[in-house]
Amino acid sequence: MEIQNPDSDSCFPKVKYWREDVLYQFQGFWFLPRHLQGTKQVLDQFKPLPNDVILASFPKTGTTWLKALLYSVINRPSSINQLVTNHSHELVPTLEMQVYGRPVANSPPGHFPSNTSSSTSILSTHIPYQILGETLNSSDCRVVYVARNPKDTLISLWHFENAMYLGQKSEPQPLENIVSNLCEGTVVFGPYFEHVLGYQKESLERPDKFFFITYEELKSNPITHVKRLAKFLGCPFVGEDMETQVEEVVRSCSIETLKNHEVNKSSDVPSWTMMPYDAFFRKGQVGDHMNYLTKDMIERIDAITRKKFHGINLWGENWM
């Protein structure tokens, strides 16, 4: 991968990540050069409107799935056809990668259908609250944040980053390396724990503006939480057929359904990333880390999770 040197970022702390990749530290968080460029543009230019909905997340925590759910809830019932023919990331573009980020060289032009048929624009970001908070608080926009168990997040990120170099027939990134990176905080948009805590704290203090949900609770009871989500967004399910409406949204946005759409099985690479569309859908399972992590790796991650999330029980008693 070609490393693009940020315009004036040579003075920022940097670390070697994997292969040719370097991470730059900006306001306490780590970014790939292209993501840092996009983030700075977001901070300089993005002015959220009162009706905007922003999906915030750490990478590989359910972003693609939540994009489909948000789009479907806000634009029902016409959203179903859009989800069949458009990838979730095209329907809900990412601020620092698609809206303001620089296109990746040698990729075809990006395609953006109308984001929404309503007066609400839906956007997403991986930028931490500690950096983006002032921008988000400049309007009455609403923010949805999804968090995922760090061990499953790590495995999903590991597969995703390995897929980036699949065409080069390279060796996969050693799993122990990314475990160390997660625990030390030197991952893309990391530290992971501070990323989660930034938005989680705001959701407790201002639940009318920040909606916090975990991937695991949404997977375990999608009907209940989609109703909560719709109410938070100001478009609750109503009428005698309310339950049918909710069930249709959940069905049309299930990971199994989305994975089977041709657009999501495409090997096309959009302009805003180096990854084909089909790389954004894998298993989507809870607990998949058990198939990969050793006992020592699990104990290491659990120890730092207990330390960082002390007194905060995000995943119930059995999340370990």
Nearest to 158 by CA among 181, 171, 175: 175
Ranges of each domain in the chain: 14-309
From 35, 89, 126, 261, active-site residue: 126
Beta carbons within 8 Å of 286's beta carbon, 6+ residues apart: 149, 152, 215, 216, 219, 220
Most confident stretch, 159-163, 204-208, 269-273: 204-208
Judged by DSSP in three states, 215 sits in: helix
What confidence category does residue 202 fall into, taking pLDDT thresholds of 50, 70 and 90?
very high
List, in sequence order, the alpha helices (H) in the chain: 33-45, 63-75, 79-85, 88-91, 129-136, 150-164, 175-184, 192-205, 215-220, 222-232, 242-252, 255-259, 295-308
Q: What is the pLDDT of residues 92-113, one digit of tens each?
A: 999 998 888 755 444 444 444 4
Of the chain, the percentage scoring pLDDT greater than 70 comes to 80
Judged by DSSP in three states, 107 sits in: coil
Asked if residue 296 has pLDDT above 70, the reply is: yes
Can you read off the two tokens belonging to residue 115? 């984001």
**pTM reported for the whole predicted model:** 0.88
pLDDT of residue 108: 42
**What is the helix (H) or strand (E) element at residue 143, kind and residue range?**
strand 142-147
Of the chain, the percentage scoring pLDDT greater than 90 comes to 59
Q: What are the beta bridge partners of residue 123?
A: 54
Judged by DSSP in three states, 116 sits in: coil
The yes-or-no answer on residue 126 being catalytic is yes
At the fourth CATH level, the homologous superfamily of domain 14-309 is: P-loop containing nucleotide triphosphate hydrolases (3.40.50.300)
Nearest to 98 by CA among 71, 137, 116, 125: 125
CB 19 within 8 A of CB 170: yes
pLDDT of residue 114: 41
Distances (CA, A) of 299 to 60, 156, 169: 21, 19, 32
Round to whole Å and give the CA distance between 121 and 94: 12
Asked if residue 297 has pLDDT above 70, the reply is: yes
Can you read off the two tokens belonging to residue 189? 């948009």
CB 84 within 8 A of CB 261: yes
pLDDT of residue 264: 61
